[in-house]
Structure 1
Amino acid sequence: MATVPALLAEGTLRLAAPAEARTLLAHALGVEPSRLALVDDVPSEVAAAYEGLVARRAAGEPVQYLTGRAWFRTVEVAVEPGVFVPRPETELMTGWAIERLAALPGRPVVVELCAGSGAISAAIAAERPGCRQYAVELSSTAARVAEENLAGTGVSLVEGDMADAFGELDGTVDLVIANPPYIPLEAWEHVAVDVRTHEPELALFSGADGLDALRVVARVAARLLRPGGFVCAEHAEVQGEAVVDVFAATGGYAQVADHPDYNDRPRYVTAVRAGKLAG
């Protein structure tokens, strides 16, 4: 039988990523990574399964697709091929939204556009319970996975186009949040091979300048938000000024501002629906 240290050393050598090797071995064993030290010998069939996972990761498959799980802030969500893998950069924007919601009384109304796996809505439900939450996702695959991830949270999820979603909520929403596709089609060759090969194009690319979906987000949020309601939307690091211009040109917004990510790169825009301001 193989041992955990030997398998981890082999996986780390192939992947140059000790954390990924630990995650994959723990997944193959069916234990949490923190419990690997408690495992003595690894059965040959498990070692073979692990070696297969390492080979697939070395070939470019995302770790999250191999394990079927991804962490986002305080929640763990299911993911699979065809569903965008949630990123740490999005956690910052979600934290901004949760801070705004924490300052609002009662049961704020929240809408997530381009929900993907539903990770953002799941995090909000966990960290600011009691909101009335809605989410929309265009991809049938992602919507199915999001429904699984949002089960029991009270989030109302619909499959469809964000452009005409939730008309019944027009003018009543406290916060709209979105991580839409935003990579320009012309930048395809500059996207990491692992990403463009394995993750869904629908969640990545958005027109020649990458701003098509963000223009829709700006229009839809303006329709949904009450005066003083908030919107936040993620964008590419090179789009900070352009996205601010998109929201400013849409009209109906005040306090349009851009915010950096963990690496101090422009990452998400926020704005307030014009009118009587919240807080």
Structure 2
Amino acid sequence: MTSAASSPSSAGTPGERVAPPPADLVARLRAAGCVFAEDEAVLLVAAARDAHRGTPGVDPGHDGPLEALVERRVAGEPLETVLGWVAFAGLRLGVGPGVFVPRRRTELLARTAVRLARAAGPSPVVVEACCGVAPVASLVAHDVPGADVHAADLDPVAVGWAARNLAGRGHVWTGDLLDPVPARLRGSVHVLVANAPYVPRAAIATMPPEARDHEPHVTLDGGPDGVDVQRRLLALAPTWVRPGGWVLIETSRGQAELTRAACPDGWTVDVLRDDDVDGTVVTARRPT
């Protein structure tokens, strides 16, 4: 059993010195199938202590808060939602039960959005559709001062986490694709970006239990070939993206050509790949 987003060893604080976790806790996590049991145990112990730091008389040990966290993890809940956060591109983003946990592969999408937003000028308009907890919008808001950042998602629970992660540095909207985004932005978006669901429907059953049993299927299900939601969003791009602007879509290596084929006619299309994070992104630029 791996974590939903990444090896938990990438989620800690670089250089942080921590005491070895209890051996029985490591054994329990390993028996439950946690591949990185030692790293997870360290993080769970720290989370239990942080939750009750400064509370006299509270024992964060096995009969207290730590036990509750361990029970959730052993039952298969993603480590990140048990902890309440996920490491993403140098940020610590809040997550909770019932939301899609950002994967490390999406860092390619986020870094590309930051690069293109910076190149667009002093006040770029960036919209993250199907935002979930808004990992891309949060990185843009953090790294591109002056950007006009918007994030939209169909799920009110995810939108609540997106608002927390953006912390007032952007606008968050609830609704399908771009329906809730203010109409005044039509034709003015510099970067439209999305990690829209792209798992072929039949493949969901083969996903790790952390995903298929604990993340909403609407965040995974891309239709029969995995590209249905992408096609719907890309069909809207000419209405929203300004001349010279971009649309960025995360996809998989195997589906990249399907995503490319769904891009608007006449746009310049490319496929980006980062093997270090196993990320694939299709970029399409509207002609000027």
The two structures have a TM-score, normalised by structure 1, of 0.85
Residue 113 in structure 1 maps to residue 136 in structure 2: no
Distance in 1 between the 2:207 and 2:261 partners?
A: 25
Residue 21 in structure 1 maps to residue 34 in structure 2: no
CA contact (8 A) 2:118 2:124 kept: no
1:36 aligned partner: none
Which of 260, 265, 269 aligns to 1:251? It is 265
Which of 220, 225, 232 aligns to 1:216? It is 232
2:114 aligned partner: 98
1:60 aligned partner: 76
User: C-alpha displacement at 1:191, in angstroms?
Assistant: 1.3
Distance in 2 between the 1:96 and 1:64 partners?
A: 24
Distance in 1 between the 2:26 and 2:135 partners?
A: 29
User: C-alpha displacement at 1:101, in angstroms?
Assistant: 1.7
User: C-alpha displacement at 1:188, in angstroms?
Assistant: 2.1
Which of 169, 174, 177 aligns to 1:162? It is 177
2:12 aligned partner: none
1:47 aligned partner: 62
2:286 aligned partner: 273
CA contact (8 A) 1:81 1:200 kept: no
Distance in 1 between the 2:276 and 2:87 partners?
A: 20
Structure 1 runs of 4+ with >4 Å offset: 263-266
Distance in 1 between the 2:60 and 2:285 partners?
A: 56
SS in 2 for 1:111: strand
User: C-alpha displacement at 1:240, in angstroms?
Assistant: 1.1
Distance in 1 between the 2:20 and 2:131 partners?
A: 39
1:237 maps to a residue whose letter is R
Q: Give the alignment of 1:108-257 within 5 angstroms.
A: 108-153=124-169, 155-164=170-179, 165-247=181-263, 250-254=264-268, 256-257=269-270
- CA gap 1:131/1:44 in 2 versus in 1, 3 angstroms: closer
User: C-alpha displacement at 1:27, in angstroms?
Assistant: 0.2
What residue ranges of structure 1 are gaps of 5+ in the alignment? 32-42
2:186 maps to a residue whose letter is D
CA contact (8 A) 1:74 1:126 kept: no
2:243 maps to a residue whose letter is P
User: C-alpha displacement at 1:263, in angstroms?
Assistant: 4.5
- CA gap 1:266/1:122 in 2 versus in 1, 3 angstroms: closer
Identity %: 34
Distance in 2 between the 1:202 and 1:267 partners?
A: 21
SS in 1 for 2:98: coil
CA contact (8 A) 2:106 2:279 kept: no
Distance in 2 between the 1:124 and 1:6 partners?
A: 36
The two structures have a TM-score, normalised by structure 2, of 0.82
Distance in 1 between the 2:60 and 2:40 partners?
A: 20
Cα offsets for 1:139-168 (capped at 9, x unmatched):
011112212222221x11111111434432
1:181 maps to a residue whose letter is P
CA contact (8 A) 1:239 1:266 kept: no
CA RMSD of aligned residues (A): 2.2
What residue ranges of structure 2 are gaps of 5+ in the alignment? 1-17, 52-57
Bigger fraction of residues in helix:
1
